Amino acid sequence: MLPEEDDIGGLPFINRMGAEAARNRTVLNAACHAQLTFVYGQLQHYLPSEPRGFGEDTKMPHEWGSMDTYDDMRNSLRLAAMMMDGLCDPFAPQDTDDTEAIRELIVLSECGICATAEEVLVAADLQTTEEDPDRDFRELAKTARRLELERGLEPNSLFPATDHEEED
């Protein structure tokens, strides 16, 4: 990119700091882009612009009773917003591990797996395998327990403790 195409030098200091923070967080930046793209796709489905062949064609899903669709849309938006806030935070520690930060954001946003872009799950190292199909939930439950202890939070109902965790 040419300097004249990306001139942040003339911006107020706080804007430059945010832009520089985003440049330094390449994994989180790519994950944020993926989540926003995912949300965009969900919005295309969520906002009626033509008959869809199900529900009431002129209404948004929550207007005709699809609260699961509403929850997924809201949670996807919340995760994207929290990622954007974390991405452009000029005061965030510079040694932050983006993989762990993304896991924390998924837990704190109460987004869940189905409302998270696949690329975000990969960036958070939450891929599942045939041998371990529940790895994503188990890892997020561990993150939830850690956050609950560190921050004095109530137990996370989306990623509850497993029987194995409770024995430890």
**What pTM does this model have?**
0.81
Q: In sequence order, what are the residues at sequence separation of 6 or more whose Cβ sits closer than 8 angstroms to the Cβ of residue 134? A: 128
Report if residue 144 sits inside a domain. yes
**Residues 41-81: tens digit of each pLDDT:** 988 878 877 666 665 667 777 777 778 888 888 999 999 99
129 within some domain: yes
| pLDDT, average across residues 131-136 | 94
The answer to whether residues 17 and 88 touch, using CB atoms and an 8 Å cutoff, is no
Contact status, residue 82 vs residue 105, Cβ threshold 8 Å: yes
Does the residue 165 lie in any domain? no
Per the structure, the count of domains in the chain is 1
**Residue-number span of the structural domain to which 22 is assigned:** 10-157
* 4, part of any domain: no
108-133 residue pLDDT tens:
999 889 899 999 999 999 999 999 99
Residue 168 lies in a domain: no
